[in-house]
Structure 1
Amino acid sequence: MNFTGKAVWEGEVEGKALVSEDPISFLGGVDPETGEIVEPGHQLEGKSVKSRVLIFPHGKGSTVGSYVIYQLVLNGVAPAAMINQVAEPVVAIGAIIAEIPLVHKLNKNPIKNVENGNKISIQGKNVRVEK
């Protein structure tokens, strides 16, 4: 399955999908030391974003979340890439300063069409999913 979207930060990456229907707050929702989702009740609570292609609708919360994304990179626990339905400024800025590929506004809804563990390949604005 192939998708096309808009690249906020381009890159070439492969990794396994980690999919959430819930928005993610990086400040307080993701442990910057471990990469684990720690927000109580979140669909991905207890899962690690490390080296995964993190697919979620959009970010939420404080602008400091951008720096948490950067800190994930510094600590070696960042996602390999992120895919959003619509990337809002916190996630977009975080991806840019951390140099994590980020694609959004895809021609198909990735949350409805991708399952956890699917192999994802990203090249710029193009996303390929292997089930």
Structure 2
Amino acid sequence: MEKIVLQGRGVIPGIVEGKALVCADSITGWGGIDPETGVIKDYENINKGKSIKDTILIMPGSKGSNGWSCYFGAARAAGSAPRGWAFSKIDSSAGVASAVMQIPTVVDFSKEDDPCVRVKTGDFVRLDGTKGTLEILKASLQ
């Protein structure tokens, strides 16, 4: 596989690796996840029923209310948060949630490097919140 490195802007430093979970339509802020388990409850989400726990969560930005940071912060407290996350473009709710979560975060990718398009759920990726990169290490067999 050709090395694929997507360049964004690092927001919260740190390096994590894991399987990507791509939510191209994001996750609703208020009640979109079960904070105890990390399971996506958002009925419109293609990944409904999957857990965000220990994934590299990839979304275009936030969706819905300011409850976003509360739900994701509660997931972190319960031990069911993602290892890191990437947003195609940062917005206020995603920014606040990133500050609350304190997990490696990369944002503001170019249109050509949009992780919601370039990364597939199940890809094994490395997220570097210091350098602002998201590297696809192994493509999913899906």
Shorter-normalised TM range: over 0.9
**Does structure 2 conserve the Cα–Cα contact (< 8 Å) formed by 1:92 and 1:102?**
no
Q: Distance in 1 between matches of 2:108 and 2:50?
A: 25
Q: Deviation of residue 68 (structure 1)?
A: 1.4
Corresponding residue of 1:127: 134
Corresponding residue of 1:110: 115
Q: Does 1:90 align with 2:93?
A: yes
Name the SS of the counterpart of 2:31 in structure 1: helix
Name the SS of the counterpart of 1:27 in structure 2: coil
* Structure 1: gaps (5+ residues): none
Q: Distance in 1 between matches of 2:87 and 2:36?
A: 23
TM-score (norm 1): 0.93
> After the TM superposition, which residues 21-60 of structure 1 pair with which residues of structure 2 at under 5 Å, given as runs?
21-60=24-63
Moved over 4 A (4+): none
Corresponding residue of 1:74: 77
Q: Distance in 2 between matches of 1:41 and 1:122?
A: 27
Q: Deviation of residue 60 (structure 1)?
A: 1.3
Q: Deviation of residue 8 (structure 1)?
A: 2.1
* Structure 2: gaps (5+ residues): none
CA-based RMSD of the aligned residues comes to: 1.2
Amino-acid identity (%): 31
**Does structure 2 conserve the Cα–Cα contact (< 8 Å) formed by 1:69 and 1:95?**
no
**Does structure 2 conserve the Cα–Cα contact (< 8 Å) formed by 1:24 and 1:60?**
yes
Count how many residue pairs are aligned between Structure 1 and Structure 2. 131
Q: Deviation of residue 63 (structure 1)?
A: 1.1
Q: Distance in 2 between matches of 1:25 and 1:10?
A: 25
Q: Deviation of residue 37 (structure 1)?
A: 0.6
Q: Distance in 2 between matches of 1:31 and 1:102?
A: 21
